[in-house]
Structure 1
Amino acid sequence: MIVKYRDAEIHFTSQGSGNPLLLLHGFMESSKIWEPFVPTLAEQRQVVCIDLPGHGESGSFNEIHSMEDMAKAVKEVLRHLEIQKAAVAGHSMGGYVSLELYKIFPTLLKSLTLVNSSPEDDSEERRINRERSVKLIKKNKEAFVKMAISNLMMPENYKKFRPQVERLIAEASKMSVQEITAATRGMKIRTNNVQSFAGMKLPKYIIAGNDDPLMDIERLKTLANTTGAELIQFSGGHLSYIEEEMALLKFLHFIE
């Protein structure tokens, strides 16, 4: 299905009925990452999966896709589906978008789950690295895609889940240079949402991989403690939906 946001086509799927659950993918991913989860989850509720702007089948509308703009595109899908409230789970960048969705439309969320994600903004070092990434993407997109995705888990898990990782790389390689850089710069300029996350009066969770190379587990423990979120620790790295598929499915099955 398709809706329009800023003249771009936003693709999404909706299966099941009642008690909506919104699933958002991360950077250089698409709604396809949730395909193993949807059939089981949709047996008991409505499950909505969206290709965020510039990802999957969705179009691009700007040189920078801010997290705020992505959140507004998500809201357009929910408006089309006449969804007034939903449980929301976002992987990595999808978590950043979920936090913006709450800030702009606070009554929309029933609960929020950050999967391998954080309410913090980029450090200065991370912002510098984002710009370096943009230069590499423009110089050699294929090399950047392969390096960025293969580094999201420990070497032993990369070997174990190599077919799944190679599918991710193949899908990400379909993105244009502009689409990848637009999301990269959007993440670079995102705001710090720790205070907003702490102030949420709704169930909130942080799912963390013990060996996540991007999200330090000790830092996430501190954030969970200071914001009142429940921390769920999984083994593995940044791709919990692959590395701990059954554990994540079990969690998503019960969140309200």
Structure 2
Amino acid sequence: MKISYRDTEIYFSSEGTGNPLILLHGFMESSKIWNDFVPSLAVNRQVVCIDLPGHGESGCFNEIHSMEDMAKAVKEVLWNLNIEKAAVAGHSMGGYVSLELSKIFPTLLRSLTLINSTPEADSEERKINRDRAVSLVNKNKSAFVKMAISNLMLLSNSVKHKAEVQNLISEALEMSTKGMTAATKGMKIRTDNMSLFSNLEIEKNIIAGKEDPILNYKYLKKVAITGNANFFLLDGGHLSFIEDKPALRKLLHLID
């Protein structure tokens, strides 16, 4: 399904009824990453998966897609579905968007789950890397996609999950350069939400990968303790939805 939003379209799917769970994908991904999770989750609740702006089947509406912009697009989908309160889980960039949702629409979230994600803003070094990424995408999108995705997990897991990783790469290559750079610029300018996360009086979960090369699990555990959130450690790197699918599925079933 699609809705019109800011002169483009936002794609989403909705299955099941009651107690909505919103699943948000990460950078260079789409709602398809949840395909293996939705059938069992939707047996007992409504599960909504959304292609964030510039990703999957959703269009671009700006040169920069800030996390706030993306959150507002998500809210528009939920408004169309008459959803006033929901559990929200986001992978990586989807976690950043989830945090913005909780900031802009404080009564919307019943619970918040960050999967391979953090409430912290980019470090200065990370911001410089974002600029380099934009430059590389404009010069050679294919090289950037293959390098970026391969760097999200150990080589052994890349081999083990070769088919799924290749599907992820193939789908990312279909993204427009504009969509890719708009999201990268948006992540670079996102605000620090550590205080917001700590002060949220809802169920909060952080799910980390033991071998995540992007986000150190020991650091994320400290964030969880500081923010009074539940912490769960899974096998694998930054792509828990591929690398430890059974464990992630079990945890998603526990979200209220």
TM-score by length of 2: 0.99
Larger deviation: 165-174 or 213-222? 213-222
Query: Displacement, 1:5?
Result: 1.8
Q: What's the CA shift string for 1:29-88, capped at 9, x where partnerless? A: 000000000010011100000000000000000000000000000000000000011000
Query: Displacement, 1:161?
Result: 0.3
For 2:111, the equivalent position in structure 1 comes to 111
Q: 1:207 and 1:8 mapped to 2: Cα distance?
A: 33
Amino acid at match of 1:182: A
Q: 1:235 and 1:106 mapped to 2: Cα distance?
A: 33
Query: Displacement, 1:196?
Result: 0.2
For 1:2, the equivalent position in structure 2 comes to 2
For 2:214, the equivalent position in structure 1 comes to 214
Q: Does 1:173 align with 2:186?
A: no
For 2:189, the equivalent position in structure 1 comes to 189
Q: 1:108 and 1:125 mapped to 2: Cα distance?
A: 33
Q: 1:251 and 1:216 mapped to 2: Cα distance?
A: 20
Q: What's the CA shift string for 1:148-169, capped at 9, x where partnerless? A: 0111101111110010000000
Q: 1:91 and 1:204 mapped to 2: Cα distance?
A: 14
For 1:253, the equivalent position in structure 2 comes to 253
Greater than 6 Å deviation, 4+ residue runs: none
Amino acid at match of 1:3: I
Unaligned runs of 5+ in 1: none
Query: Displacement, 1:218?
Result: 1.6
SS at match of 2:206: strand
Amino acid at match of 1:63: E
Q: Once superposed, what is the RMSD of the aligned Cα atoms?
A: 0.5
Query: Displacement, 1:237?
Result: 0.1
Amino acid at match of 2:109: L
Q: How does 1:1-256 map to 2 (within 5 A)?
A: 1-256=1-256
Q: 2:73 and 2:4 mapped to 1: Cα distance?
A: 8
Q: 2:128 and 2:4 mapped to 1: Cα distance?
A: 33
Q: What's the CA shift string for 1:183-223, capped at 9, x where partnerless? A: 00000000000000000000000000011011111211111
Amino acid at match of 1:234: L
Query: Displacement, 1:7?
Result: 1.3
SS at match of 2:187: helix
Q: 2:8 and 2:107 mapped to 1: Cα distance?
A: 26
SS at match of 1:58: coil
SS at match of 2:100: helix
Q: 2:181 and 2:250 mapped to 1: Cα distance?
A: 34
Query: Displacement, 1:2?
Result: 1.0
Q: 1:155 and 1:231 mapped to 2: Cα distance?
A: 26
Unaligned runs of 5+ in 2: none
Q: 2:137 and 2:231 mapped to 1: Cα distance?
A: 34
SS at match of 1:140: helix
SS at match of 1:237: coil
Identity of aligned residues (%): 66
Larger deviation: 246-255 or 188-197? 246-255
Q: 1:5 and 1:28 mapped to 2: Cα distance?
A: 20
Q: 2:155 and 2:249 mapped to 1: Cα distance?
A: 24
Q: 2:105 and 2:19 mapped to 1: Cα distance?
A: 18
Query: Displacement, 1:14?
Result: 0.2
Q: What's the CA shift string for 1:77-110, capped at 9, x where partnerless? A: 0000000110000000000000000000011000
Q: What's the CA shift string for 1:109-129, capped at 9, x where partnerless? A: 000000000000000000001
